């Protein structure tokens, strides 16, 4: 993200009075919308986007994890002027998961077949394939597993992969190593199935211009009204995060 993009998105977070994670450490969550309701508090994760154009860029190497993540989020999109210097905010769209679903489905359709193929092909690997790639051994070590997953796995993941103990030392069985090989095969195949930066289209966004989803003032109040209405109609939606009860005054 460029410095300018970051500044615009921080501005949007302030206007809408959201909780902002500047380092995006919360699993890639830009911001959080918290709604105190009668007797309880709920949260929605929010994807914050800005543009000086009519379409919205998304992310590199978009795959099924992006699809799953986007389906649980509200989207705030700020449209800015193209003038030199500091772009000025013209208007915003606040879109619910239901609003975004048609576009998300259109992206999913482009990659779903390849992701299914990646999953099916990796499941068909046999012990002989393991021996061909990793050598035929009775037991394997973390060092063997690291040849496959390298730094993409954490120390905790490598430790959990050691499913047997031999002479007092943790080791990886043939069966477990085959599972690790299948995961690597699926990962490699899925990398080829991703899309590079699919844009949220002008056609999709245009249908919300002139509706209550277009916000030009009373930013914080309007997004909360949209959030409350979405919750009222979709209390079991996976985007709804119940964070506890409100305190009685």
Q: What is the pLDDT of residues 98-150, one digit of tens each?
A: 999 999 999 999 999 999 998 899 999 999 999 999 999 999 999 999 999 99
Instruction: Please check whether residue 249 lies inside any domain of the structure.
Output: no
Instruction: Please check whether residue 144 lies inside any domain of the structure.
Output: yes
Poorest-pLDDT segment among 23-27, 47-51, 144-148, 240-244: 23-27
Q: In 186-217, which positions are buried (b, 16+ CB within 10 angstroms) versus exposed (e)?
A: beebbeebbbeebebeeebbeeeeeeebebee
Q: Specify whether 227 is located in the same domain as 199.
A: yes
Q: Specify whether 34 is located in the same domain as 144.
A: no
Instruction: Please check whether residue 132 lies inside any domain of the structure.
Output: yes
Range of the structural domain that residue 7 is part of: 3-116+195-244
Q: Specify whether 32 is located in the same domain as 149.
A: no
Instruction: Please check whether residue 186 lies inside any domain of the structure.
Output: yes
Q: Specify whether 155 is located in the same domain as 199.
A: no
Quote the CA–CA distance of 101 and 193 in Å, as a whole number.
21
Q: Specify whether 137 is located in the same domain as 77.
A: no
Residue-wise DSSP of 21-63:
-TT-TTTT--EEEEEEETTEEEEEEEEEEEESSSSB---SSB-
**133 alpha-carbon distance from chain centroid:** 32
Q: Specify whether 89 is located in the same domain as 163.
A: no
Q: Specify whether 149 is located in the same domain as 33.
A: no
Q: Specify whether 16 is located in the same domain as 124.
A: no
Partners of residue 80 on adjacent β-strands: 89
Q: Specify whether 95 is located in the same domain as 182.
A: no
Instruction: Please check whether residue 107 lies inside any domain of the structure.
Output: yes
Q: Specify whether 124 is located in the same domain as 220.
A: no
Instruction: Please check whether residue 213 lies inside any domain of the structure.
Output: yes
Tell which residue, 195, 196, 188, has the closest CA to residue 119: 188
Residue after which a domain boundary falls, among 173, 191, 209:
191
Q: Is the pLDDT of residue 16 over 90?
A: yes
Q: What is the pTM of this model?
A: 0.80
Q: Specify whether 72 is located in the same domain as 135.
A: no
Quote the CA–CA distance of 34 and 26 in Å, as a whole number.
15
Tell which residue, 142, 166, 49, has the closest CA to residue 103: 49
Q: Write a three-state SS string for 3-15.
A: HHHHHHHHHHHHH
Question: Mean pLDDT across the chain, nearest whole number?
Answer: 90
Quote the CA–CA distance of 112 and 91 in Å, as a whole number.
34
How far is residue 183 from each of residues 120, 123, 190, measured CA to CA in Å? 11, 9, 10
Q: Specify whether 12 is located in the same domain as 106.
A: yes
Instruction: Please check whether residue 134 lies inside any domain of the structure.
Output: yes
CATH of residue 238's domain is 3.40.210.10
Predicted confidence (pLDDT) per residue in 174-213, tens digit: 999 999 999 999 989 888 888 999 999 999 999 999 999 9
Instruction: Please check whether residue 52 lies inside any domain of the structure.
Output: yes
Number of domains in the chain: 2
pLDDT band at 22 (very low <50, low <70, confident <90, very high): low
């Amino acid at each position: 993200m460029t410095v300018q993009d970051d500044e615009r998105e921080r501005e949007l977070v302030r206007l809408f009075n959201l909780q902002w994670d500047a380092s995006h450490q919360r699993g890639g969550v830009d911001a959080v919308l918290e709604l105190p309701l009668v007797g309880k508090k709920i949260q929605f994760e929010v994807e914050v986007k800005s543009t000086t154009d009519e379409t919205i860029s998304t992310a590199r190497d978009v795959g099924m994890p992006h699809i799953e993540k986007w389906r649980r989020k509200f989207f705030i999109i700020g449209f800015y002027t193209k003038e030199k210097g500091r772009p000025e905010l013209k208007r915003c769209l606040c879109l619910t998961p239901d609003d975004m679903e048609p576009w998300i489905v259109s992206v999913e359709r482009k990659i779903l077949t390849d992701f299914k193929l990646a999953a099916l092909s990796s499941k068909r690997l046999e012990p002989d394939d393991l021996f061909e790639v990793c050598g035929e051994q009775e037991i394997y070590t973390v060092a063997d597993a690291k040849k496959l997953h390298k730094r993409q796995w954490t120390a905790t993941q490598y430790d959990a992969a050691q499913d047997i103990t031999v002479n007092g030392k943790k080791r990886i069985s043939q069966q477990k190593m085959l599972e690790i090989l299948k995961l690597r095969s699926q990962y490699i195949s899925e990398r080829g199935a991703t899309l590079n930066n699919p844009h949220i289209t002008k056609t999709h966004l245009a249908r919300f211009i002139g509706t209550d989803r277009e916000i030009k003032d009373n930013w914080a109040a309007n997004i909360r009204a949209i959030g409350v209405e979405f919750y009222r109609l979709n209390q079991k939606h996976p985007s709804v995060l119940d964070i506890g009860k409100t305190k009685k005054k």
